[in-house]
Structure 1
Amino acid sequence: MVENIISFSLRNRFIVLLFAAGIFTWGLFSVKTSKIDAIPDLSENQVIVFTEWMGRSPQIIEDQITYPLVTNLQGLPKVKYVRANSMFGMSFIYIIFEDNVDVYWARSRVLERLNSIGNALPAGVNPTMGPDGTGVGHVLWYTLDAKSMDLGEQRAVQDWYIKFALQNVPGVSEIASFGGFQKQYQISIDPDKLSYYKLNIQDVMRAVKSNNNEAGGRKFEMSGIGYIIKTTGYLKSIEEIGNLSVRTQGSIPVRIRDIGTVQMAGESRLGIFDYNGEGEAVGGIVVLRYGENANEVINKVKAKMMEVTKGLPEGMKFNIVYDRGKLIEESISSIKTTLIEEMIVVSLIVMIFLLHWRSAISIIIQIPITIAASFIVLNAFDISSNIMSLTGIALAIGVIVDNGIIMAENSYKNLAVRQAELNEQRKGGSADVV
Structure 2
Amino acid sequence: MNRFFERMHGQRRAILCGLLALTVVGYALGLRLPAAILPEVTFPRIKVIAESGERSGDEMLREVTRPLETSLRRVPGLLEMRSITSRGSTEINLDCSWSSNMDLTLQRVQAQVAAVRDAMPTGTSIDARLMNPALFPVLGFSLVSPGHGLAELRDVATLQIQPELSRLPGVAEVVIQGGGQLEARVTLDPTALEAHGLDAKCVADALTKTSTLESVGLLESNRELYLGLADARPPNLEALANVPIPVPDGAPARLGTLGRIALEEAPQFTRYAAQSSEAVLVNVLRQPSASTIDVAREARRWFDEHRSVLPSDTRIQVFYDQSDLVRDSVTSVRDSLIVGAVLAVILIILFLGSWKLGWTALIVLPASVGLTLFGSSLSHQSLNLMTLGGVAAAVGLVLDDASVVVEHLSHRA
Bigger CA drift: 143-152 or 210-219?
210-219
2: CA distance, partners of 1:4 / 1:199: 103
In the alignment, is residue 14 of structure 1 matched against residue 38 of structure 2?
no
For residues 315-354 of structure 1, what are the structure 2 equivalents within 5 Å?
315-316=313-314, 318-354=316-352
Q: CA deviation at 1:370?
A: 0.4
| Paired AA for residue 140 in structure 1 | L
C-alpha spacing 1:129/1:410, structure 2 compared with 1 (3 Å): same
Q: Deviations over 1:248-303 (max 9, x none)?
A: 67874301111111111122222321224x32112221122334211111112223
C-alpha spacing 1:132/1:255, structure 2 compared with 1 (3 Å): farther
Paired position in structure 2 for 1:33: 32
SS at match of 1:173: strand
In the alignment, is residue 87 of structure 1 matched against residue 68 of structure 2?
no
Paired position in structure 1 for 2:239: 240
Q: Deviations over 1:181-215 (max 9, x none)?
A: 11111111122221220123333223323332345
1: CA distance, partners of 2:163 / 2:378: 34
Q: CA deviation at 1:371?
A: 0.7
Paired position in structure 2 for 1:177: 176
C-alpha spacing 1:17/1:77, structure 2 compared with 1 (3 Å): farther
| Paired AA for residue 201 in structure 1 | A
Please, which runs of 5 or more residues in structure 1 have no aligned partner?
Answer: 416-434
Work out which of the two has the higher radius of gyration on C-alpha atoms and give 1 or 2.
Answer: 1
In the alignment, is residue 209 of structure 1 matched against residue 197 of structure 2?
no
For residues 299-378 of structure 1, what are the structure 2 equivalents within 5 Å?
299-316=297-314, 318-378=316-376
C-alpha spacing 1:326/1:413, structure 2 compared with 1 (3 Å): closer
Q: Deviations over 1:206-250 (max 9, x none)?
A: 3323332345367599xxxx9997654332211111111102678
- The TM-score normalised by the length of structure 1 is 0.82
| Paired AA for residue 287 in structure 1 | L
C-alpha spacing 1:125/1:282, structure 2 compared with 1 (3 Å): closer
Bigger CA drift: 309-318 or 394-403?
309-318
SS at match of 2:16: helix
Paired position in structure 2 for 1:73: 72
| Paired AA for residue 354 in structure 1 | L
Q: CA deviation at 1:32?
A: 0.7
Contact 2:82 2:93 in 1 (8 A): yes
1: CA distance, partners of 2:352 / 2:393: 22
1: CA distance, partners of 2:296 / 2:24: 28
SS at match of 2:197: coil
2: CA distance, partners of 1:307 / 1:364: 44
Contact 2:45 2:131 in 1 (8 A): no
Q: CA deviation at 1:139?
A: 1.4
Paired position in structure 1 for 2:109: 110
Contact 1:133 1:173 in 2 (8 A): no
Q: CA deviation at 1:388?
A: 3.6
2: CA distance, partners of 1:50 / 1:299: 31
Contact 2:45 2:130 in 1 (8 A): no
Contact 1:364 1:401 in 2 (8 A): no
C-alpha spacing 1:255/1:272, structure 2 compared with 1 (3 Å): same
Q: Deviations over 1:120-142 (max 9, x none)?
A: 64555342235876377221111
SS at match of 2:133: strand
Q: CA deviation at 1:175?
A: 1.8
2: CA distance, partners of 1:327 / 1:268: 37
Please, which runs of 5 or more residues in structure 2 have no aligned partner?
Answer: none
| Paired AA for residue 176 in structure 2 | S
1: CA distance, partners of 2:359 / 2:101: 45
SS at match of 1:82: strand
SS at match of 1:35: coil
Question: Alignment identity in percent?
Answer: 20
2: CA distance, partners of 1:311 / 1:389: 40
Paired position in structure 2 for 1:285: 283
For residues 250-289 of structure 1, what are the structure 2 equivalents within 5 Å?
252-276=251-275, 278-289=276-287
Contact 2:40 2:132 in 1 (8 A): no
Q: Deviations over 1:150-191 (max 9, x none)?
A: 111111212222222222223223222222211111111122
Paired position in structure 2 for 1:386: 384
